[in-house]
Amino acid sequence: MPVISKKGRMMPASPIRKLVPYADAAKKRGIKVFHLNIGQPDIATPKIALDAVRNFDQKVVEYSHSAGILSYRKKLVDYYARFDIHITADDIIIGAGGSEAILFAMNSCMDPGDEIIIPEPFYANYNGFAVNAGIKVIPIPSKIETGFALPPIADFEKAITPRTKAIIICNPNNPTGYLYSREELETLKAIVLKHDLFLFADEVYREFCYDGKKHFSVMHLEGLDENVVLIDSVSKRYSACGIRIGAMISKNKELMATALKFAQARLSPPTLGQVAAEAAIDTPDEYFVNVLKEYVARRNVVVDFINQMPGAFCPNPSGAFYVVARLPIDDSDRFCKWLLEDFSYQNQTVMLAPATGFYATQGRGLDEVRISYVLKVEDLKSSMNCLQEALKVYPGRK
């Protein structure tokens, strides 16, 4: 039999989806499973975006320009200007989700064997993208005690080697919800300039900032035009994960010319997705006002509930729709599986993501879980009740 590639064998399965068979089995047993494990929001996609697809009246669904439909990219220029991010249509390449944009960025900036520094815990799929591009992830720890703030500059310095080519941050962060401050980004700027690195900033949760806090983008940093790559997506912004539209943005012309070659090799981003995304830019502000109000209410339910559970701790993050909470448990993988296989309360249980999958360092995240607050408040309250009852009887309780 022909041998599967080393790369294929190294490719990690999604740590978030690996518990799905246990959830399916629980559902077969008649148990209601609250899904707090994935970032699939239950918020409705704006009607304006769906209508654009319904009204699509061309006879052929053609390939678009490899960098994306020009009218869409031009409209994106206006969208970013609202956030004081000033770019041109040529600084944008549309990808099939932020996922493809990350791959374009890694493949355009880094060679096999190069290293990328990532504060952990981090979005687990960065591991898969890194394997795809043949690059090595170098994690540096952020800590729950600080709410997962940016690790100290000394930790970055220690991690830098001659193979270091880039740093990636996610702001606001998945999985921690942490929103980086201007000062933290200025710190990163100094490291990036000192060592001549690329700075990838995954800002797919830009709209989701709470408590009156404003998002500070890497694009606001002065003097970093050649280094900064912005990763974006409409998946979460418009609750439109399935239209598969994201973007890679940089003012570095040589980099964008390189990325375009990768974009050309896959011909085109999805045409209908771009039609929806272009229309979505006109989503009324009111939509976001309501969405943010809803997410703040949800976050408060989760954070307040967890912090009154004995032995548990949950920071109160200012962005995205995730928290990483510490629970009095021996092993988060075992706990999350047990919740589905062996536990129910009033015929209900919760599906959580073990935080181990968000760490590259073996042994970290054992007593932490990621909770996505993507369900309505009522369901979140029931979920938190389940979790509270589960912690009372879990055999591996610490």
Ligand X SMILES: Cc1ncc(COP(=O)(O)O)c(C=O)c1O
Q: Site for ligand X (CB under 6 A): which residue of 64, 142, 164, 174?
A: 174
**Axis crossing angle, helix 253-265 with helix 97-109, rounded to the nearest 10:** 120
Beta partners for 397?
329
Q: Site for ligand X (CB under 6 A): which residue of 33, 67, 170, 375?
A: 170
**Axis crossing angle, helix 125-133 with helix 97-109, rounded to the nearest 10:** 40
Q: How far is the CB of 383 from ligand X (least distance, A)?
A: 20
Beta partners for 141?
120
Q: Site for ligand X (CB under 6 A): which residue of 98, 121, 269, 273?
A: 98
Q: Are 321 and 295 in contact (CB under 8 A)?
A: yes
Name, in order, each residue with C-beta under 8 angstroms of 67's C-beta and a sequence gap of 6 or more: 73, 92, 93, 94, 260, 263
Determine, following the binding rule CB under 6 A, whether residue 43 of this chain makes contact with ligand X: no
Nearer Cβ to ligand X (236/349) = 236
Ranges of H-type helices in the chain? 6-10, 20-28, 47-54, 70-81, 97-109, 125-133, 153-159, 182-195, 253-265, 271-280, 285-307, 332-341, 377-393
Distance CA 184, CA 72 (A): 32
Nearer Cβ to ligand X (151/269) = 269
Determine, following the binding rule CB under 6 A, whether residue 235 of this chain makes contact with ligand X: yes
Determine, following the binding rule CB under 6 A, whether residue 246 of this chain makes contact with ligand X: yes
With CB under 6 A as the rule, give the number of residues binding ligand X: 13
Determine, following the binding rule CB under 6 A, whether residue 274 of this chain makes contact with ligand X: no
Stretch binding ligand X (CB under 6 A), from 64-72, 95-103, 156-164, 384-392: 95-103
58, 225, 331, 370, 396 from 328: Cα distances, Å:
57, 45, 9, 14, 9
Beta partners for 289?
none
The phi, psi pair for 383, rounded to 5°, reads -60, -45
Determine, following the binding rule CB under 6 A, whether residue 97 of this chain makes contact with ligand X: yes
Determine, following the binding rule CB under 6 A, whether residue 365 of this chain makes contact with ligand X: no
The residue type found at 180 is Y
Determine, following the binding rule CB under 6 A, whether residue 250 of this chain makes contact with ligand X: no
Nearer Cβ to ligand X (246/270) = 246
Nearer Cβ to ligand X (172/315) = 172
Stretch binding ligand X (CB under 6 A), from 92-100, 149-157, 258-266, 285-293: 92-100
Name, in order, each residue with C-beta under 8 angstroms of 106's C-beta and a sequence gap of 6 or more: 116, 129, 130, 132, 133, 135, 166, 200
Q: How far is the CB of 202 from ligand X (least distance, A)?
A: 5
Determine, following the binding rule CB under 6 A, whether residue 204 of this chain makes contact with ligand X: yes
Distance CA 28, CA 363 (A): 33
Nearer Cβ to ligand X (64/349) = 64
Q: Site for ligand X (CB under 6 A): which residue of 241, 272, 309, 377?
A: 241
Q: Site for ligand X (CB under 6 A): which residue of 19, 22, 23, 39?
A: 39
Stretch binding ligand X (CB under 6 A), from 22-30, 57-65, 96-104, 143-151: 96-104
Determine, following the binding rule CB under 6 A, whether residue 87 of this chain makes contact with ligand X: no
Determine, following the binding rule CB under 6 A, whether residue 349 of this chain makes contact with ligand X: no
Determine, following the binding rule CB under 6 A, whether residue 229 of this chain makes contact with ligand X: no
Which residues within the stretch 116-145 sit at the binding site for ligand X (CB under 6 A)? 123
Q: How far is the CB of 356 from ligand X (least distance, A)?
A: 17
The residue type found at 104 is F
- Token output for 56: 């699509």
Stretch binding ligand X (CB under 6 A), from 4-12, 54-62, 91-99, 337-345: 91-99
In the complex, residue closest to ligand X by CB: 97
In 175-272, the DSSP E strands lie at 198-202, 228-233, 246-249
Question: Which spans of this chain sit near ligand X (rule: CB under 6 A)?
Answer: 39, 97-99, 123, 170, 174, 202, 204, 233, 235, 241, 246
